[in-house]
Amino acid sequence: MFDVTKYPEVEYNRFFNLVESLGRQLNERKNRFDKSDVLECATGWFSNGKLEWVDRIGHDHIVAFSGAKSEQKTQQNVLYTSKGRLKKTTGAIRLLNTLGDDENRTYESKYDVLQIVDTGGPLSFSVALATPEVVQKYVKKTKDCFTVQIPTDELVFLFRPENYSPRQVPVIANYLEEKRAAQMRLIEQF
């Protein structure tokens, strides 16, 4: 079992400055995979090599010093309300899409630690960890997925809203503009 108290240090303040800069531009259904890739990659980058972003089925990062697998779930106001109050239980977190393929299927984690990231805004920016054992106690199966809502007193918090300090000179990032420019550069090669 992975010791969550030994989770690698991540510069979460820099991470949340990126989240703040991206704003809502990647919230549309078409862009959500890009958003998860950007945020997962950023976690690896802001860990200074302690978390390697691998983007595999069931886990997103490998902990460099131990080889442990970490799954990252990002969601707005999953840990705190938009007014900055800690929730008693997390919001419903979608763990695995089953696409209705097997009603007898059971949930099996492919990670050693679940990293829950609240991207709702400065009053909710936070990160907490859960072990697979904690997750398993609260997993529910719906028609097309497995979800979980975990009591927040069973989580290990690494970052809370009061730790967030906004960047003095905000960076304006326009991911969609950059993506379209990259697509055109690719197309123009042919």
Q: Residue 123 falls within a domain, yes or no?
A: yes
92, two tokens? 């419903």
With b for 16 or more beta-carbon neighbours within 10 A and e for fewer, the 4-17 pattern comes to beebbebebeebbb
* Residue 150 falls inside a structural domain: yes
pLDDT at position 115 is: 97
- Looking at residue 103, its pLDDT comes to 67
Strand 139-141 with 145-148, pairing? antiparallel
pLDDT at residue number 151: 98
Query: Among all chains, which residue has been given the structure tokens 């090599």?
Result: 49
Instruction: Give a yes or no: residue 16 inside a domain.
Output: yes
Within-domain flag for 2: no
159 located within any domain: yes
**What tens-digit pLDDT sequence spans the chain (190 residues)?**
778 888 999 999 999 999 999 888 888 888 889 999 999 999 999 999 999 999 999 999 999 999 999 999 999 999 999 999 999 999 999 998 877 666 678 889 999 999 999 999 999 999 999 999 999 999 999 888 899 999 999 999 999 999 999 887 667 778 888 899 999 999 999 9
Q: Which CATH number characterizes residue 105's domain?
A: 3.40.600
Paired residues of 23 in beta bridges:
none
110 within a domain of the structure (yes/no): yes
Please check whether residue 48 lies inside any domain of the structure: yes
First to last CA, the chain: 51
Q: What is the pTM of this model?
A: 0.91
How many structural domains compose the chain? Answer: 1
Radius of gyration, CA atoms only, the chain: 17
Supply the pLDDT for residue 67.
Answer: 94
In whole angstroms, how far apart are CA 179 and each of 20, 22, 29, 40? 18, 13, 16, 17
In-domain check, residue 1: no
Q: What is the DSSP letter of 146?
A: E
Whether the CB-CB separation of 133 and 167 falls below 8 Å is answered with no
Q: Residue 89: which domain range? A: 7-188
